[in-house]
Structure 1
Amino acid sequence: MNPHHHLHESTLISYAAGALPSPLNIVAGVHLEQCPHCRAQLRQAEAIGSVLMEQTQPAPAAAEQRRAQLREAMLAQLAGEGIPSAESMDRQPSRERPEADPDHLPVALHPYFGSSLRNLRWRWIGPGMHCIRAEQMPSLIMLKIAPGKCLPMHSHGRSELTQILRGSYNDALGLFAPGDMADLDEDVEHQPVTAPGVPCICVSALDAPLVFSGWLARKLQRFVKL
């Protein structure tokens, strides 16, 4: 898996600082499991955070020792909040979806959706569209969209993170395939069209409802709650 669309650097900094809302944090973690490029960027963000923490403290007598202490304190804080660091991810065996089990879900999703796509109970929300919400976190959503489906034009109330797990879609930003991350904000308006072949399955997190352009989609929004 070689992702071509990645987390924005501001998202990585927020992730490293533990400042992302929980649903966004989970989807960012899914991408980081599968993307060495973003793990490398996360290491840089963690290093910057460690330096900033050090600069807020009086200059120590043993600078190197204090720097190590601050770094360990920051990593311990991230671990205590359930936020894996790039270092801890790199120490673990590869979590990319095993080829022998294409239905395997990323580890970060197991507490919310289980370990396999086969066990999910999808809910119909429209022609060719199904979803499932995490019981513990309703704004964490998995979507399954039929091949060749054109979604309504929409923008975003605030932030959206969407990780592609299977299938693909095209929009004005390009082709999004398995492993790719759509890191979107209120300035992006797009109309995804799923590719032929297999359904597009993705996991999304929103921190505000979508903003649909068409009147019909706006009418239906209160029923599908996206």
Structure 2
Amino acid sequence: MNPRHHLHESTLIGYAAGALAPAMAIVASAHLEQCAHCRRAAREAEGFGAALLDQAHNDPLPQARRDALRAQMLARLGSQDDPAETIATPHPRRETSPAPVAPDADRLPHALQPYFGSSYRALRWRWMAPGVHCLRAADMPSLIMLRIAPGKSLPMHSHGRSELTHILQGAYNDSLGLFAPGDVADLDQDVEHQPVTAPGVPCICVSALDAPLVFSGWLARKIQRFVKL
């Protein structure tokens, strides 16, 4: 598995700082289990964060210096284009980014198991719309899994705030490209798209939303009150 779509730099910084909403952090963790590129970037963010915290505690920095260090961290995170690159952590830290997990066709990522169980075969899907089934985490309604039939076109929509979607099985295409297993769609309110699932097998993904979707069509808007997306 070699993901081509990764977590945004701001999401990695929020994850390293423990500042992401719980559902977003869970989806980010699921992606990190399967993406070596983002694991290295997360370790880089953790290291810079630890250094900044220590410096702020011992010798508070001027705002201009803090801004410069943050810009430096963003630039380094954005430069991690070589999957084989080894990143030296600039400060001792406690490991917080998930370790890689050996693939198993029937096992969910470790980060999702407390909320959905460990086995794909044991999932009890609920009908949402023709060709679309879902599961919601019992104690976290903004964390959902979707199973979408092959060749299914979803309604055009944008996002009230942010959406983080990690692809587990199958694939979909939209204006941003092909999203296959291991890829993550890290989207904000400026993105409008219409995912179309690839032929062959259902697309299974896990999503976190921090605001309802914004549908373009009137029919989708009417259905939205029932499906609660």
Which range, TM-score by smaller chain? 0.7 to 0.9
- Tell me by how many angstroms 1:223 deviates: 0.3
Structure 2 CA distance for aligned equivalents of residues 165 and 48 of structure 1: 30
Question: Which of the residues 145, 166, 175 maps onto 2:169?
Answer: 166
Where 1:56 maps in the other structure, the secondary structure is helix
Where 1:163 maps in the other structure, the secondary structure is strand
Q: How does 1:81-160 map to 2 (within 5 A)?
A: 85-86=96-97, 89-90=98-99, 94-98=100-104, 102-160=105-163
Q: How does 1:6-155 map to 2 (within 5 A)?
A: 6-59=6-59, 71-72=92-93, 75=94, 85-86=96-97, 89-90=98-99, 94-98=100-104, 102-155=105-158
Paired residues of 1:33 and 1:96 also in contact (CA < 8 A) = no
Q: Which runs of 4+ in 1 moved over 3 A?
A: none
Q: Deviations over 1:85-122 (max 9, x none)?
A: 13xx34xxx41422xxx121001011000001111111
Q: Which residue of 2 aligns with 1:203?
A: 206
Structure 1 CA distance for aligned equivalents of residues 177 and 156 of structure 2: 15
Amino acid at match of 1:214: G
- Tell me by how many angstroms 1:52 deviates: 1.0
Amino acid at match of 2:96: S
Structure 2 CA distance for aligned equivalents of residues 122 and 184 of structure 1: 25
> How many residues were matched structurally?
198
Gap change, CA 1:203 and 1:96, over 3 Å in 2: farther
Paired residues of 1:123 and 1:132 also in contact (CA < 8 A) = yes
Amino acid at match of 2:200: G
- Point out where structure 1 has 5 or more consecutive residues left out of the alignment: 60-69, 76-83
- Point out where structure 2 has 5 or more consecutive residues left out of the alignment: 60-90
Where 1:187 maps in the other structure, the secondary structure is coil
Structure 1 CA distance for aligned equivalents of residues 175 and 215 of structure 2: 16
Q: Which residue of 1 aligns with 2:81?
A: none
Structure 2 CA distance for aligned equivalents of residues 165 and 57 of structure 1: 41
**CA RMSD in angstroms, aligned pairs only:** 1.3
Amino acid at match of 1:161: L
Structure 2 CA distance for aligned equivalents of residues 95 and 109 of structure 1: 13
Structure 1 CA distance for aligned equivalents of residues 3 and 221 of structure 2: 32
Structure 2 CA distance for aligned equivalents of residues 225 and 56 of structure 1: 43
1:179 and 2:185 matched: no
- Tell me by how many angstroms 1:55 deviates: 1.9
Amino acid at match of 1:53: L
- Tell me by how many angstroms 1:57 deviates: 2.1
User: Percent of counterpart pairs with the same letter?
Assistant: 70
- Tell me by how many angstroms 1:58 deviates: 2.5
Paired residues of 1:172 and 1:191 also in contact (CA < 8 A) = yes
Paired residues of 1:96 and 1:106 also in contact (CA < 8 A) = no
- Tell me by how many angstroms 1:191 deviates: 0.1
